Amino acid sequence: MKFALKQRLRQGETLFGCFLHLGNAVAAEIMGRAGYDWALVDLEHGSGGEQEALDQMMALAGTGAASLVRVESTHRQRAHRVLDYGAEGIVFPHVDTEEEARQAVAAMRYPPEGVRGVAFSNRACGFGSDFKEYLSRAHQDLLCVVQIESPLAVENAARMAALDGVDVLFVGPTDLSQSMGMLGEFGRPEFQQAVAQVAGAARRAGKYAGLLLPKKEDVAHYWELGYRFMISGSDGVLLNLAARANVAALQAARGKLPASSAPADDTIPA
């Protein structure tokens, strides 16, 4: 299995992703075909479980979007299971300290550098055909993303970025703003200072900064701060917005129709 997402970051590309919350393979394929660079299968807040994660990764394989998975914790079992499925990277939520970041890295790496179990018969290894190549490249190709979602995490961002194996410091703006006592107030100077601090920590360590965009119009602003790994939109939210917009248009059109709902007699087909 050939992975290219980390290589694209190394080449200086700005990459855009989306959330997959519905746990549905068809929705995943639709999102992948829309043109996103990567898609995040969400096992923290999403509707599906591990089987649905595999289904979604298989659906994404036919698109141009790389598969990442957000697990609930740094526990080895959850990380290495979806890596065996073929995930190109793992997103670890609520990583607050250097030690927690170290545990995230260990969950993704084979011994002696980590604690990931070794198996050759899984999808990531071509069901046995590509095991040696995968084993030799996994540490350098897989993307380890730690989420910065608290003031403590911002304070420790530089130490986490300095760890070998941590690739992306990813700001979760909703959780971070909530923990700062300013839920959703992303324009506040204190919040902007925090996200700038995270981006600076990543840059100085030669790593990458990412975040969930508060608004898609914010791309240029966060790019100037140093963010190159951004996510915007989710399958569930986009479906909800599109459905509501369509219903609103239909209701507006209905409001302009004559009061009587029955057609005139001479318009009824014989």
Catalytic annotation present for 45:
yes
How many CB atoms are closer than 10 A to CB 185?
A: 11
Q: What angle do the packed helices 235-255 and 25-33 form, to 10 degrees? A: 80
**Separation between Cα atoms, residue 13 and residue 206, nearest integer Å:** 14
Distance from C-alpha of 211 to C-alpha of 215, rounded to nearest angstrom: 11
Report the sign of the C-alpha dihedral through residues 222, 102, 72, 36, in that order. Answer: positive
Counting Cβ atoms within 10 Å, is residue 204 exposed (0-12), middle (13-18) or buried (19+)? Answer: exposed
What is the rounded CA–CA span in Å between residue 8 and residue 230?
Answer: 14
Among residues 45, 75, 94, 221, the one annotated as catalytic is: 45
- Is residue 15 classed exposed, middle or buried when 0-12, 13-18 and 19+ CB atoms within 10 A define those classes? middle
The count of other CB atoms within 10 Å of the CB of residue 216 is 10
Q: Which residues are catalytic?
A: 45
